[in-house]
Amino acid sequence: MSGATTVGLRNWLMSAGVLAAVAGLAAAQEPAGKPEGAKPAAGAKKAASIYDKSADARVQVAKAAERARHAEKRILLMFGGDWCGWCHKLHGLFRTNHDVAKILANEYEMLTIDLESPNARPLLEECKAALGKDELQKGVGYPFLAVLDSGGKVVAAQRTDSLEEGDHHNPKKVADFLNRWKVLQSDAKSVLAEALARASSADKRVLLTFGAPWCGWCHRLHDWLARPEIAAILDRDFVVAKVDIDRMAGGEELMKSYRAETSSGIPWYAILDVHGKSLASADYPGGNICFPLRPREIDHFFSTIKGQARRIDGHQLGVLRKSLDENADRIWKDMGLGKAPRT
């Protein structure tokens, strides 16, 4: 497969992933004080469903928490139901306003919780407890928002009538609320310093990766690195650290300090010694391998790990190589191209 074709496939998958993330973030709100059992007016056009009455709220949160921990995000809950016109309006804003959709995609795992679904009411009561006394006395209209941390603990709750403006929600107010409660990111230099300190104390090296929330291939690489069987092997020789060039202060500058000007694209990685000196990177004669998909890219990625490993044994190296090949096969199959080539 030509390099241009591969880049096109990468871009297609990345775009599809971003659109899916934004579209899946969350849309119907009647006035915020509207009774929760209210029904739409006769003859009103029925909006597409955005809630699932059969989905257990606790299970949804548990799954979202796992994703949030991995991506260093928080969880946004929107309580309501398909009967709620203002819920659909807010959901629509989440999907169509560029600034709001970007914050949600980058910073939150978004869940819509139907009030009639299993465990929704106990979860709602826990979230309502985060309101101030004055707010709580006003009652709760819908949609009702809550922010949880990656452990499922309630961080904040929000009545949405204060986010309204006329017959819609004010995008700036919604964005301000989301920005206020997102995870505070460390700066890139601090992430590097911590990784180097850990590597020095354990006589390891640092596998430093660079990516961004909108980069589908970055997510694929980080997902692979985070697999328990892969992480356990790499941990024998490496401290794996992730720098987000969009969300972390100084992230892009740190990446540029390590890579050649002729190199481009993400994901990108470098293997560093305990002093921060680069020993190997994602760059090879064909450029930045980005995600190891083609045989030459897999060969390069594997050789950089093997070349810098000191405790990972032959069997474990074989596990890594087999996993890389199987991962590539899975992606090629997902793209409808059959099995990945081996040469």
Shared-domain flag, residues 69 and 160: yes
Domain-embedded: residue 80? yes
Cα gap 51→79, rounded to integer Å: 9
1 in a domain, yes or no? no
Final residue of a domain: which of 131, 152, 181?
A: 181
Single-letter residue type at 261: E
Structure tokens that stand for 252 in this block: 């892009």
Q: How many residues does the chain have?
A: 343
CA distance 195 to 188: 11
Q: Which residues does 128 contact at the CB level (< 8 Å), separation at least 6?
A: 136, 140, 144, 157
| Structural domains in the chain (count) | 2
Same domain, 23 and 171: yes
If we measure between CA atoms, which residue out of 232, 316, 304 comes closest to residue 271? 304
Which one of 162, 181, 200 terminates a domain?
Answer: 181
Whether residue 303 lies inside any domain: the answer is yes
pLDDT tens by residue, the chain, 343 residues: 333 334 444 544 444 444 344 333 333 223 333 334 344 444 445 678 999 999 999 999 999 999 898 888 999 999 999 999 999 999 999 999 999 999 999 999 999 999 999 999 999 999 999 998 887 777 789 999 999 999 999 999 999 999 999 999 999 999 999 999 999 888 999 999 999 999 999 999 999 999 998 899 999 999 999 999 999 999 999 999 999 999 999 999 999 999 999 999 999 999 999 999 999 999 999 899 999 999 999 999 999 999 999 999 999 999 999 999 999 999 988 888 777 676 6
pLDDT for 79 equals: 98
The domain boundary residue, chosen from 181, 215, 237: 181
Residue 261 lies in a domain: yes
33 and 162 assigned to the same domain:
yes
Indicate if 315 and 201 belong to the same structural domain: yes
The answer as to whether 324 is a domain residue is yes
Please indicate, yes or no, whether residues 47 and 141 belong to a single structural domain of this protein: yes
Claim to verify: residue 176 and residue 192 sit in the same structural domain? no
Residues 142 and 254 in one domain: no
CATH number where 124 lies: 3.40.30.10
Q: Could you tell me the residue range of the domain that residue 57 belongs to?
A: 19-181
Residues 192 and 175 in one domain: no
Same domain assignment for residues 153 and 245: no
Do 151 and 271 fall into the same domain? no
Report how far residue 114's alpha carbon sits from residue 53's, in angstroms, rounded to the nearest whole number: 6
Q: What pLDDT, on a 0 to 100 scale, did the predictor assign at position 34?
A: 38
3-state secondary structure of 3: helix
State the pTM of this model. Answer: 0.70
Residue 13 lies in a domain: no
* Two structure tokens written together for 153: 């603990």
Give the pLDDT of residue 45: 59
Is the same domain home to 30 and 118?
A: yes
Strands (E), 91-231: 108-114, 144-148, 154-159, 164-165, 168-169, 205-211
- DSSP code of 187? P
Q: Which residue has the tokens 């920005």?
A: 179
Question: Is the residue at 310 inside a domain?
Answer: yes
255's tokens: 């990446």
Q: Is residue 148 included in any domain, yes or no?
A: yes
* Residues 162, 38 share a domain: yes
Model pLDDT, residue 342: 65
